[in-house]
């Protein structure tokens, strides 16, 4: 004990005796700060991202059929949607999973994707005009006639604007001249003769405009739609970070769609307004300046050069109102709307905020701010599991977002659809369709024939499938009246489904929320075993595995941190080793004298190792303290998400790191290990110093 006390006293005496020790201490200090701060940030990032993934779609666990060709990838993969085998009855797996005491709830799911064609401004206007004519067929009123005449005037103005736009385009690129057939169609649509005869057959006239004129306007967009079919009521109860922003939730038992607010703003909002929103957010949140930011300047330039989407929306009356309002705002006497719009969108840091408010106060009331309005129906066409296309009309009830992830593209890319419609689009017959098929079979006398009996039924002597043909008239109206697609879609929209309909149908996968997430690994193993005992071919995976590449980002971040720490400490080992060797060589006389007066080699070895250990502890503790203070400061201020993609990983606009005891312990263990390892060889050399070397002097 006395010897240990002496070694400790020597170690503290030599702590700052040499500049070499200060260099070694500085390296240890820096490395400790890096490990503490880096570990705390990565652990906090892991926790934040887990909240985002678990709270938005994954749950704590996911289950899917183990017969699937691909692994479940909730956020998609480079090859598209994963090829998953269906689970025939959700109620079968729900019953088994909910028997586990740690399972809180099970939510049925299925994902798919498609592309929507966002109609251009002419398409949307013609669609409204067609609807008005259909209403007029049931009984025309003066108000309805006024709306029709106003829209017809608007369409004529749009065609005139389109003609000017095409003339300008042809002048700039003569080699890309218009198709002669398009020119003839445009000339006809501009003629007075066409509009004089419009009312004789309005639907045929609209067909010409829709098929030949509307395609000439190129402001329509292909909109990606990735949707999650689920039990919407149970989903909203389970994932409590979800909240309705606009509109309403889909009523219980009804078909419908909820769009993510992020995608709704990004793809369906008027592009001019969307650009202004992005610029305002960049200025207000990120404190960017238009004068210094080329991207913001580009967006403003696009608003100046792409005024057509505004001009096309304004009918003659609204055009005059817009001119009057812009003249007042700008103090101008110009009467050409396009020039006024260009002048209005000439913005800088000084006038942007005022112009932004004026745009929403003066111009937006005259415009359709969104191409798709809440309450409208979307016709979604998707490929079924067998590869053929299927369509369904789905009403858009509202938009939603996840609290803290409002700006996240990942969290804002998945729409929510009722699982009944999802099954229909995926190629599985719903109860309504089965009833309809049964009625058709009964009415037509069709019978089911097994594959092995088909030959005998068709060609056997007693075949009942062969009947004599006879001529007869077909009442087309009677045949079509009961099978109208529009009528069928309307019936589906009004029909309600029950919880039993949800539970008895197919699913692709299901989310599981746990009561105690700390026992996730154990619960996962137990659920896997329970499913095997029940004869269910299920694969149970954690949220990390289910989120595929997104869930592996934390692993990558940890590997990057550990790689940086490894490189730093490899350098530290070399520097510490060389420094201790230099210090040892400088102390040859001291060590030799100690050997001469009776110090054995173990004492010398312990002295050198303990000096470095004390050095590591002192500077490591100082580094841990500085690192802890840095983490506390970051935890109070937060690390801002400088890009929208980070909102998902930060689970909000800022990441607030927290310090765990494991961060400090890990840092100190690494520091002491590196210090001891790098000192072992110099300490060994110190034990080889003999008393004879100590007595030698330089002459």
SS3 531: helix
Q: Give yes or no for residue 607 having a pLDDT over 50.
A: yes
Structure tokens at 372: 């798709």
pTM strictly above 0.75: no
Determine the pLDDT at residue 479. 44
Q: What does the pLDDT look like over 333-392, one tens digit per residue? A: 999 999 999 999 999 999 999 999 999 999 999 998 998 889 988 888 888 777 778 888
Determine the pLDDT at residue 327. 94
Q: CA–CA separation, 113 vs 226, rounded Å?
A: 4
Q: What does the pLDDT look like over 595-604, one tens digit per residue? A: 666 666 666 6
Determine the pLDDT at residue 569. 66
Instruction: Please enumerate in sequence order all residues whose Cβ is within 8 A of that of 413, keeping only pairs 6 or more positions apart, or say none.
Output: 224, 226, 260, 262, 263
61-106+506-550: CATH architecture = 2-Layer Sandwich (3.30)
Q: Nearest-CA neighbor of 383 among 18, 80, 53?
A: 80
DSSP 137-188: HT---HHHHHHHHHHHHHHHHHHHHHHHHHHHHHHH-GGGPPPHHHHHHHHH
Q: Which of 23-27, 240-244, 694-698 has the lowest mean pLDDT?
A: 694-698
Q: How far is CA 380 from CA 348, 426, 469, 507, 559, in A?
A: 41, 12, 40, 19, 42
Which of the four pLDDT bands, split at 50, 70 and 90, describes residue 188? Answer: confident
Determine the pLDDT at residue 466. 52
Q: CA–CA separation, 211 vs 28, rounded Å?
A: 74
Determine the pLDDT at residue 444. 63
Q: CA–CA separation, 649 vs 636, rounded Å?
A: 18
More confident residue, 15 or 394: 394
Q: CA–CA separation, 157 vs 147, rounded Å?
A: 15
Q: What is the 3 state secondary structure string of 557-626?
A: HHHHHHHHHHHHHHHHHHHHHHHHHHHHHHCHHHHHHHHHCCCCHHHHHHHHHHHHHHHHHHHHHHHHHH
What is the rounded average pLDDT of the residues 404-432?
A: 82
Establish how many alpha carbons lie within 13 A of residue 653's alpha carbon, considering only the half-sphere containing its beta carbon.
6
Q: Which of 126-130, 159-163, 546-550, 606-610 has the lowest mean pLDDT?
A: 606-610
Determine the pLDDT at residue 488. 53
Determine the pLDDT at residue 484. 47
Q: Give yes or no for residue 441 having a pLDDT over 70.
A: no
Instruction: Please enumerate in sequence order all residues whose Cβ is within 8 A of that of 142, keeping only pairs 6 or more positions apart, or say none.
Output: none
How many residues are present in the chain? 699
Q: What does the pLDDT look like over 526-540, one tens digit per residue? A: 999 999 999 998 999
Q: Which of 208-222, 268-282, 354-368 has the lowest mean pLDDT?
A: 208-222
SS3 250: coil
What are phi and psi for residue 542, nearest 5 degrees? Answer: -80, 170
Q: What does the pLDDT look like over 64-91, one tens digit per residue? A: 999 888 888 887 654 456 678 889 899 9
Q: Give yes or no for residue 690 having a pLDDT over 70.
A: no
What is the rounded average pLDDT of the residues 196-221?
A: 80
Structure tokens at 449: 């024939």
Q: What does the pLDDT look like over 443-497, one tens digit per residue? A: 666 666 665 665 665 555 555 555 554 444 445 444 444 444 455 555 555 568 8
Q: What does the pLDDT look like over 219-237, one tens digit per residue? A: 666 788 889 999 999 999 9
398-417 core/surface letters (b: 16 or more CB in 10 A; e: else): bbbbbebbbbbbbbbbbbbb
SS3 221: strand
């Amino acid at each position: 004990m006395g010897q240990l006390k002496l070694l400790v006293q020597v170690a503290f005496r030599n702590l700052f005796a040499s500049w070499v020790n200060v260099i070694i201490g500085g390296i240890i200090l820096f490395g400790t700060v890096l490990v503490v701060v880096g570990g705390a940030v990565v652990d906090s990032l892991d926790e934040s991202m887990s909240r985002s993934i678990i709270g938005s779609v994954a749950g704590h666990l996911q289950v899917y059929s183990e017969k699937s060709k691909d692994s479940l990838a909730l956020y998609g993969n480079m090859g598209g949607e994963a090829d998953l085998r269906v689970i025939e009855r959700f109620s079968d797996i729900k019953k088994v999973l909910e028997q586990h005491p740690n399972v809180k709830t099970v939510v049925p799911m299925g994902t798919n994707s498609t592309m929507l064609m966002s109609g251009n401004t002419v398409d949307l206007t013609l669609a409204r005009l067609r609807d008005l004519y259909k209403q007029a067929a049931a009984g025309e009123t003066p108000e309805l006639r006024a709306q029709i005449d106003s829209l017809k005037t608007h369409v004529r103005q749009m065609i005139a604007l389109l003609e000017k736009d095409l003339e300008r385009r042809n002048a700039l690129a003569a080699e890309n001249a218009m198709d002669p057939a398009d020119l003839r169609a445009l000339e006809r649509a501009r003629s007075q003769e066409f509009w004089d005869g419009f009312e004789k057959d309005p639907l045929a006239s609209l067909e010409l405009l829709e098929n030949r004129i509307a395609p000439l306007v190129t402001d329509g967009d292909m909109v990606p739609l990735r949707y999650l079919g689920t039990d919407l009521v149970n989903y909203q109860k389970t994932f409590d970070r979800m909240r309705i922003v606009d509109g309403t939730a889909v009523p219980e038992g009804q078909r419908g769609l909820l769009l993510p607010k992020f995608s709704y703003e990004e793809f369906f909002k008027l592009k001019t307004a969307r650009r202004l929103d992005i610029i305002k957010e960049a200025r207000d949140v990120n404190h960017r300046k238009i004068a210094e930011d080329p991207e913001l300047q580009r967006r403003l330039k696009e608003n100046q050069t792409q005024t057509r989407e505004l001009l096309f929306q304004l009918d003659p009356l609204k055009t005059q109102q817009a001119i009057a309002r812009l003249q007042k705002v700008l103090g101008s006497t110009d009467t050409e709307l396009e020039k006024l719009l260009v002048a209005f969108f000439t913005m800088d840091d000084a006038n942007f905020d005022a112009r932004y408010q004026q745009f929403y106060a003066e111009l937006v009331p005259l415009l359709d701010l969104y191409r798709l309005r809440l309450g409208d129906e979307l016709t979604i066409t998707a490929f079924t599991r067998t590869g053929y296309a299927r369509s369904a009309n789905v009403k858009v009830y509202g938009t939603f977002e996840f609290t803290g992830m409002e700006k996240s593209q990942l969290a804002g890319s998945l729409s929510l659809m009722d699982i009944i419609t999802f099954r229909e689009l995926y190629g599985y017959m719903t109860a309504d369709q089965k009833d309809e098929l049964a009625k058709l079979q009964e009415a037509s006398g069709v019978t089911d024939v097994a594959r092995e009996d088909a030959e005998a039924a068709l060609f056997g002597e007693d075949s009942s499938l062969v009947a004599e043909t006879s001529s007869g008239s077909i009442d087309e109206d009677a045949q079509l009246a009961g099978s109208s697609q529009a009528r069928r879609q309307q019936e589906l929209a009004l029909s309600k489904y029950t919880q039993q309909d949800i539970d008895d149908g197919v699913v692709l996968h299901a989310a599981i929320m746990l009561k105690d997430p700390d026992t996730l690994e154990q619960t996962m193993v137990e659920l896997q075993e329970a499913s095997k005992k029940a004869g269910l071919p299920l694969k149970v995976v954690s949220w990390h595995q289910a989120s595929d590449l997104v869930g592996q980002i934390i692993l990558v971040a940890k590997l990057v941190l550990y790689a940086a720490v490894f490189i730093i400490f490899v350098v530290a080992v070399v520097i510490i080793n060389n420094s201790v060797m230099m210090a040892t060589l400088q102390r040859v006389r001291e060590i030799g004298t100690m050997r001469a007066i009776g110090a054995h080699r173990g004492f010398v070895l312990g002295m050198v190792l303990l000096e470095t250990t004390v050095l590591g502890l002192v500077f490591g503790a100082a580094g841990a303290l500085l690192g802890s203070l840095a983490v506390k400061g970051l935890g109070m201020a937060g690390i801002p998400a400088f890009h929208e993609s980070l909102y998902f990983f930060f689970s909000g606009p800022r990441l607030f790191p927290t310090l765990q005891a494991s961060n400090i312990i890990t840092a100190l263990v690494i520091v002491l290990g590196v210090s001891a390892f790098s000192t072992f060889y110099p300490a060994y050399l110190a034990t080889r110093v003999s008393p004879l070397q100590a007595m030698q002097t330089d002459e």
